[in-house]
Amino acid sequence: MRAWQIQRYAEPLEALSQAEVPLPDPGPGELRLRVEAAGLGLPDVFMCRGQYAFRPELPFTPGQEVVGRVTAAGAETETDLGSRVMAVTAFFRGLGGLAEEALALDAAAYPAPAEMDAATAAGFVIPYHTAYLGLVTRGRLQPDETLLVLGAAGGTGAAAIQLAKALGARVIAVAGGEAKVEACREWGADLAIDHERASFAEVVMDETRGLGVNCIYDPVGGSAFAAALECLASEGRLLAVGYASGAWSDASTQALVRRNASVLGVFVGAYTKPLLDEVHSALLDLWRRGAIRSIVTRSVDWSDAAKALHELSLRRTSGKTVVRVVESVHGAPNA
């Protein structure tokens, strides 16, 4: 079968090339999926660079989430052969979604609703599960509260904007450039700040009459985290989600104590199936009611996967990009 593989650690265009590889065998708790579409994210770029927490042996296939049909199932799995699922892949073993067939975790595979198109399904699980676990489970965001979303035009940020609006909160989004700021407004942000034109922290403090925000969703880290900490209201919660900037940041304990504030870690991979099943079902309910919608803005052909990751690495994308796999490789969906 065909797969995109990271052959050496480099920027996506140099790191990735297509290869003919054997079909992977699912181990215990794993499914093999014929991939219909694969979602891209910044972690795939970090994997190309060899800068991610997981560094499988080279060469390997990235791609954290997919929609596809089950073609084989390992021991201790519950999903039916032939069923169509949206799932988190075994990317950490180097058997990710940028392939005709990928391995997925049975515990993180959910039936894909027939009415959900492939692109939406391939870009739903990781951004929306992260948003729900961050905003609801960890952050306890309330309808009368204000949320600040950093990296708001990215895949992780876009889901947080939409979920927070569905929960009834006021949302202030931060993104770079007019097009991304406009995208944040379209997803429902009440206010979108262009960090290339103004200090977002100053604007936030003005907008909140010096009180700050109740909750911050931060997939960026680095200096943005430090600036955001200054915008946290009394009893505020800063949700540390990611490090798009390339670096995590440490909070000053003194700054937290002064505000009775907290920094909370958010990591989807550390939660177990029963909770994730509940989260998924709550999200699907919101999606069916139209309270949250697809964050996928771009669907590219299989042959353009490396170029699409290149664009993502240069911060030129907004929302989520997905790669069409079945259609591109075989000519027709579900062929």
Ligand X SMILES: NC(=O)c1ccc[n+]([C@@H]2O[C@H](COP(=O)([O-])OP(=O)(O)OC[C@H]3O[C@@H](n4cnc5c(N)ncnc54)[C@H](OP(=O)(O)O)[C@@H]3O)[C@@H](O)[C@H]2O)c1
Contact positions toward ligand X, by CB under 6 A?
A: 41-43, 126, 130, 151, 153-156, 175-176, 180, 219-220, 241-246, 266-268, 312, 315
Q: How far is the CB of 6 from ligand X (least distance, A)?
A: 16
C-beta closer to ligand X: residue 163 or 244: 244
Q: How far is the CB of 227 from ligand X (least distance, A)?
A: 12
C-beta closer to ligand X: residue 304 or 327: 304
d(C-alpha 34, C-alpha 85), whole Å: 10
Q: How far is the CB of 228 from ligand X (least distance, A)?
A: 12
For helices 125-132 and 155-166, what crossing angle results, to 10°? 50
Q: Which residue is nearest to ligand X (CB)?
A: 154
CB atoms near residue 168 (< 10 Å): 11
Residue pair 169/145 in contact (Cβ under 8 Å)? The answer is yes
d(C-alpha 254, C-alpha 264), whole Å: 16
d(C-alpha 158, C-alpha 173), whole Å: 9
C-beta closer to ligand X: residue 52 or 71: 52
Q: Which residue has the tokens 């990710």?
A: 96
**One-letter amino acid for residue 44 of the chain:** D
C-beta closer to ligand X: residue 241 or 322: 241
d(C-alpha 177, C-alpha 197), whole Å: 8
| Start-to-end CA span in the chain (Å) | 15
Q: How far is the CB of 75 from ligand X (least distance, A)?
A: 27
DSSP calls for 8-77: SSSSHHHHEEEEE-PPPPP-TTEEEEEEEEEE--HHHHHHHHT-SS--PSSSBB--SEEEEEEEEE-SS-
C-beta closer to ligand X: residue 12 or 41: 41
Q: How far is the CB of 196 from ligand X (least distance, A)?
A: 8
C-beta closer to ligand X: residue 3 or 175: 175
Residue pair 68/85 in contact (Cβ under 8 Å)? The answer is yes
C-beta closer to ligand X: residue 45 or 112: 45
Q: How far is the CB of 46 from ligand X (least distance, A)?
A: 7
Residue pair 282/291 in contact (Cβ under 8 Å)? The answer is no
C-beta closer to ligand X: residue 61 or 297: 297
Q: How far is the CB of 72 from ligand X (least distance, A)?
A: 27
- What six digits make up the tokens of 21? 């590889």
C-beta closer to ligand X: residue 61 or 156: 156
How far are the Cα atoms of 37, 131, 171, 203, 265 from residue 46, in angstroms, in the given order? Answer: 21, 21, 28, 31, 20
Residue pair 137/279 in contact (Cβ under 8 Å)? The answer is yes
Q: How far is the CB of 20 from ligand X (least distance, A)?
A: 29
Q: How far is the CB of 231 from ligand X (least distance, A)?
A: 16
Q: Which residue has the tokens 């907290």?
A: 262
